[in-house]
Homo-oligomer: A and B are copies of this chain.
């Protein structure tokens, strides 16, 4: 084997982890979310710009508002999930850049003075961080149910503002009965990797 990561960790994060469609009633605590964040915040982003923002939808009223913006097939499971998070990109991340990238504070204006440039960079880097977050949910022994089947513009208006672009909604909890479909096939190595 060419991997040094412990096989149990490989299973926990990738091989046995699955996108869950049902959950038990066990709550997901703020302490668990804090532990997830404290791990995945170290995942790399361009110039450490760290544009991911997380909105935890905890109140019944907010949950109801969110569910209305989801594709029909995502509504029931999201209404029932122990915790739901909206992951978004902060297009004004550059305001934090002098603190996040202290050895080149000029980057804030030199690279990210234009909003369109910021939006592109925030989308890329917040999406990388969304993947780290999903891995972190699994590292906490929980299952994630990431969803893009949603009216994201509606979610932006309902929960965010013009400076934040929603990327996805993620259900979080312990998997319940019949939590997932059979594993779908993956592409072969030679379909994905070429050498020049």
Contact = CB atoms under 8 A, between A and B. Distances in A.
Interface of A: 1-6, 8-10, 12-15, 17-19, 29-44, 46, 48, 50, 52-59, 62, 96, 99-103, 121, 123-124, 127-132, 134-135, 138-141, 144, 146, 148-149, 159, 167-168, 181, 183-187, 189, 191-196
Contacts of A8: 6
A42 B99 CA distance: 35
A83 to B, nearest CB: 10
A185 B135 contact: no
A117 to B, nearest CB: 11
A146 B129 CA distance: 14
Copy number in this complex? 2
B100 A185 contact: yes
Contact of A35 (B3, B99, B132, B183): B3
Contacts of A195: 30, 55-56, 58
A159 to B, nearest CB: 6
A176 B166 CA distance: 38
7 contacts: A6-B9, A9-B9, A14-B43, A38-B189, A43-B135, A54-B194, A124-B148
A159 B196 contact: yes
A187 B149 CA distance: 29
B29 A139 contact: no
Contacts of A53: 192-194
